[in-house]
Chains A and B, each alone.
Chain A
Amino acid sequence: MNVLLDAVGITKSFSGIRALDDVTLRVVEGERVGLIGPNGAGKTTLFNCILGTLRPDSGSVILNGVDLGSLPVHRRARMGMGRTFQRIELFSDTSVAEHLLIAERVRQGNGALWKDLLGRGRPTSDEIRRCAEVLDLLGLTDLAEEPIETLSLGQGRLVEVGRALVTGPRLLLLDEPSSGLDRAETDALAATLAEIQREKGFAVLLVEHDVELVAAFTDRTYVLDFGRLIANGPTKEMMADADVRRAYLGDLEVGR
């Protein structure tokens, strides 16, 4: 299997505090990988280093054999990194369908100004069809014309996923998709995600608090604590691992 994402020796300090210490993380194509750890473990920092919103002090992020170096976020996105946000980020004052159309248009290129001015910039029927397909996949077809502001949080997250999907990512980074959702909503989201992932075959890196979601969704899990990778292996083993449980639950022995 082809290694898709290779983050090697990532180290990042914030005014003397080591948020990440020599973390190495690898995602193989089509794989579903979890990244868990207690609050303050450095999950978000690692996530941001991979996405390019933060620059690591040392170490490198390699996507599909290309060292991303200091590429800005949007260039990384074009190379196949999609993401969702922990605090939902949608484009206000659009409908669900328009939302995806923006992403679809970006996927095709930057759009030359002269094309816009000559009236070539309006959405084509081909683009509209592609977006409708993604909406269908997410089960959002009924909401296509709804303004984005009227959606529930769970639906909003799905739109975020859809927006990322339209750009045709090879790696989807999900940032705590369960935050703000209840158990039932989380399960529904996990089911939809799993289905789409099977169909499209992209790789997923899931940063999550909710251990149940990670257990249900991922094949392999990395565990971070105090900026260090303390364990990494098949998700089932990780969930049973004593060190992992200690990091998560403290030294208390809690039977589950």
Chain B
Amino acid sequence: MLLAASTGEDLLRAVLQGAPPGSVYALIALGFVLTYKTSGVFNLAFGAQAYVSAAMYFQARNEWEWQVVPALILAVFILAPLIGLVLERLIFRHLSNSSAVAKLVIAIGLTVALPSLFELVTGFSAVAGRTPTGIIPGGSSVFYDPFGIYPLSRDELAQMAVALFGMAALGALFRFSSLGLALRAVVESPRMTELSGINADRVSAFAWALSSLFAGMAGVLIAPRFNTLMAPDFFHLVIVAIAAAAIGRLASLPRALLGGLGLGIFIALFNTFLPRWTADHGWLRPFQENLTPSMPFVILFGVLVCWPAIRREHRVVDPLSGVDPPPPGLAALTRNRRLTLITRVFSVSLLCVIGVTVLLRADVRWLFLVTQAVILAIIYLSITVVTGFAGQISLCQGAFAAVGAFTVFQLADRYDLSVLAAALVGAALAAVVGAVLSLPVLRLGGVWLAIATLAFAFFFDAVMVKFSWIGGGGTSLFQGTRVPRPTIGPWDFADDRLFLVLAVVAFTVVSFLVIQLREGTTGRMLHALRGSEMAAESIGISPVRARVTAFAVSAAIAGFGGALLAIHQENVNYQNNFSPTAALFWLVLVVSLSARTIEGAAYSGAAFSLFDSLVLRGEVFRWIFRGWVPGILPISPKWRFVLFGLASIQFSRHPEGLVEYGKRRATRRFNERFDRRERDRASQETSP
């Protein structure tokens, strides 16, 4: 039985191959579940934390030429828990009463901010083309082959050993120490635990330090598997960990552990036993080639969508949480009509001045940046619809935008269709994709919906883009995904100024439609659903229908914006514009500025495109002070990620965003002063 023997061998080989990464996944999954259970934070930032530790270790070993042990102590046993403690102390402790979605948004903000912050502080920059070293000398070059079928490298053995040790230590801690008992209690209900005289804050700080240590350890262990050292690689890692944690339904540590290990092995098995299609099924090749790396996303998506139990999981709340008073409502301010008029006139005239100045004076670079800002603002309106109106965090807006962009590319390239018509087709296609995706995903709601859309974004990134009928295939590698500029009658939009006008017109039209949507039936229904789903259903609103509509509209807007962006850059530039991590930053930006208003989207577009040049490079000062720029400028564009990433922290307190918050506060101040003046006048009239 030669066949059986070789199958058995394959099986064993796959297990041996999958166990080392599986144990690292398990390590992160453990940390993930630990923080989730103790503080309710769905910590996507673990990926960033793992990256920071891995980078610190790399820096210490390769740049400062430290020995393994001190480097390891610095990166894993000092830096990692320290970051965890700081995050817990400064941020998440104060959020214990915030919604899970607010915490998720902040974690996404940290995912964006932490790597850049670390790189700015230490002067580290992402490394490409160099394989990070492991924790064992000769880790990647010395092999052991106990069964004669798969040689395990020293690194792999170290991964398994460290992971095993970590799990055993955690198990012992839970089982035998009083701290472990307190941890288990906090996992059940932090407030109950406090009532029995245990400082739940301290326990949760400990949990954060411990789980961050796990994340850091996992980062250092897994780094040698990549031949680069960049933050996005580690973000993948946290997705895998979430998949593992989801298999364990986020509830039990042992199951998360088995989930991680099982996932590693399953991926290896899949890789081994995936049928090799032959040439007559050439169109399946991209699937075959790319399904393996995207397996975690597929599994995560599958687990979320197909496993009803997980949906119930997010409804499990602290039994004492009902004690809290509801959050204070927004002070619904009736704005003074005269004030509204003054601000409108002022802002419209300011916009006109800016517009004219840009059209007349701007050079090629500024024209490019301003046009990009306007087009991005269109894409951000899609976030306004899905997050601001429907209250759902979607992390796949980048994929929707890419659908639009690739449609334009394909239709223009193959059928020579007018790019503007193709942009509309792209919007329609994106709407279809959005609606189809939203059907299974919407039932999840809240945090799980965000994670499922993230899984979809990564799946799109890893598999769909590789198809030649989407991403252009091999030829696009050399020629790029070229998109021409349109001409309408006498106007040739190859002219950058004219194209800017087109972009502004498009933004105005889309904004108008979005406002119509908000004021219309759909907007009202979404508003009701956001306030209380139960009550909305009780008057006959179908939550699924309203939200699918919101998703489809949002995807259409994103697709249209993405198409325009491709036309503007005359290239799709998928990696730069639409990759899942780029889209994460979009969300962070819009949510921290204002996801509820058109203005918020406009400001976000400007912030993405212009903030770097205007503020960080100090151009604003140069204009105002005639060439003088403060000495500290220009500073690194990475500050953009740090500032806006950290700005998302205020989301828990002001979910309406910074712009809206500032506006409300200014209005209130004005009203108070106005009222006082009126009162004074009234009292003067009556007193004599």
Q: Which residues of A contact B (CB under 8 A)?
A: 51, 53, 72-75, 77-78, 82-83, 85, 89-95, 101-103, 105-107, 110-111, 113, 115-122, 145, 147-150, 160, 163-164, 166-167
Contacts and interface: CB of A to CB of B under 8 A. Distances in A.
B516 A116 contact: yes
The 8 A-B pairs of least Cβ separation, nearest first, read: A121-B520, A111-B521, A116-B520, A91-B531, A149-B329, A147-B332, A89-B535, A77-B540
B545 interface: yes
Contacts of A160: 535
Given A85-B534, A113-B553, A147-B332, A106 B539 contact: yes
- In this complex, the member of B334, B523, B538, B541 whose beta carbon has the largest number of chain A beta carbons within 10 angstroms is B538
Given A93-B330, A117-B517, A149-B329, A78 B540 contact: yes
B636 interface: no
Contacts of B538: 51, 73-74, 77, 82-83, 85, 89, 164
Interface string B229-273: 000000000000000000000000000000000000000000000
Given A82-B538, A116-B516, A121-B520, A91 B532 contact: yes
15 contacts: A73-B538, A92-B329, A106-B521, A113-B549, A116-B517, A116-B519, A116-B522, A119-B516, A121-B522, A147-B331, A149-B328, A149-B329, A163-B535, A163-B539, A164-B539
Given A121-B519, A122-B520, 7 more contacts: A74-B543, A90-B535, A92-B329, A111-B521, A121-B516, A147-B329, A164-B538
A90 B532 contact: yes
A107 B549 CA distance: 19
Contacts of A118: 516
A157 B622 CA distance: 59
B549 A93 contact: no
A252 B553 CA distance: 63
A182 B516 CA distance: 43
Nearest to B515: A119
B536 interface: yes
B527 interface: yes
A167 B329 contact: no
B513 interface: yes
B677 interface: no
Contacts of B525: 102, 105-106, 111
A116 B523 contact: yes
Nearest to B334: A145
Contacts of A51: 538
Contacts of B328: 149
Select the residue from B332, B534, B540, B541 with max chain A CB neighbours within 10 A. B540
Nearest to B656: A93
A169 to B, nearest CB: 9
B661 to A, nearest CB: 14
A160 B543 CA distance: 19
Contacts of B513: 117
A98 to B, nearest CB: 8
Contacts of A113: 517, 522, 549, 553
A115 B520 CA distance: 8
Contact of B521 (A85, A115, A145): A115
B679 interface: no
Nearest to A51: B538
Contact of A106 (B331, B516, B534, B540): B540
Interface size range of chain B in the complex? 20 to 34
B524 interface: yes
A91 B528 contact: yes
A179 to B, nearest CB: 13
A126 to B, nearest CB: 15
Contacts of A111: 520-522, 525
Contacts of A107: 539-540
A110 B516 contact: no
A91 B536 CA distance: 8
A101 B534 CA distance: 17
A232 to B, nearest CB: 26
Given A74-B541, A77-B537, A163-B539, A93 B329 contact: yes
Contacts of B536: 74, 91
Contacts of A150: 329
A64 to B, nearest CB: 16
Interface in B541-586: 541-543, 545, 549, 553
B517 A91 contact: no
B519 A89 contact: no
B527 A103 contact: no
Contact of A102 (B334, B528, B534, B542): B528
B516 to A, nearest CB: 5
A122 B519 CA distance: 6
B482 to A, nearest CB: 33
A110 B542 CA distance: 8
Contact of B531 (A77, A93, A120): A93
Contacts of B331: 147
A211 B53 CA distance: 64
A89 B123 CA distance: 52
Contact of A110 (B330, B332, B521, B535): B521
A118 B143 CA distance: 69
Given A77-B539, A93-B332, A101-B524, A117 B531 contact: no
Nearest to B333: A147
Given A94-B531, A121-B516, A103 B522 contact: no
A49 B513 CA distance: 40
A68 to B, nearest CB: 14
Contact of B542 (A74, A120, A163): A74
A83 B540 CA distance: 11
Contacts of A72: 537, 542
Contacts of B543: 74
Contacts of A82: 538-539
Contact of A121 (B523, B530, B531): B523
Contacts of A103: 539
B329 A105 contact: no
Contacts of A74: 536-538, 540-543
Contacts of B517: 113, 116-117, 121
Contacts of A75: 540, 542
A153 B453 CA distance: 39
A105 B535 contact: no
Contacts of A121: 516-517, 519-524
Contacts of A106: 521, 525, 539-541
Contacts of A78: 540
A247 B669 CA distance: 59
A125 to B, nearest CB: 15
Nearest to A119: B516
A89 B521 contact: no
A91 B523 CA distance: 13
Contacts of B541: 74, 106
B85 to A, nearest CB: 35
A83 B332 CA distance: 27
A102 B513 CA distance: 20
A101 B329 CA distance: 20
A72 B673 CA distance: 51
Contacts of B522: 111, 113, 116, 121
A101 B487 CA distance: 46
A89 B534 contact: yes
Contacts of A53: 534
Nearest to B520: A121
A94 B549 contact: no
B664 to A, nearest CB: 12
B516 A167 contact: no
A136 to B, nearest CB: 20
Most chain B CB within 10 A, of A94, A95, A120, is at A94
Contacts of B520: 111, 115-117, 119-122
Interface in B329-379: 329-332, 334
A166 B543 CA distance: 19
Contacts of B537: 72-74, 77
A46 B516 CA distance: 41
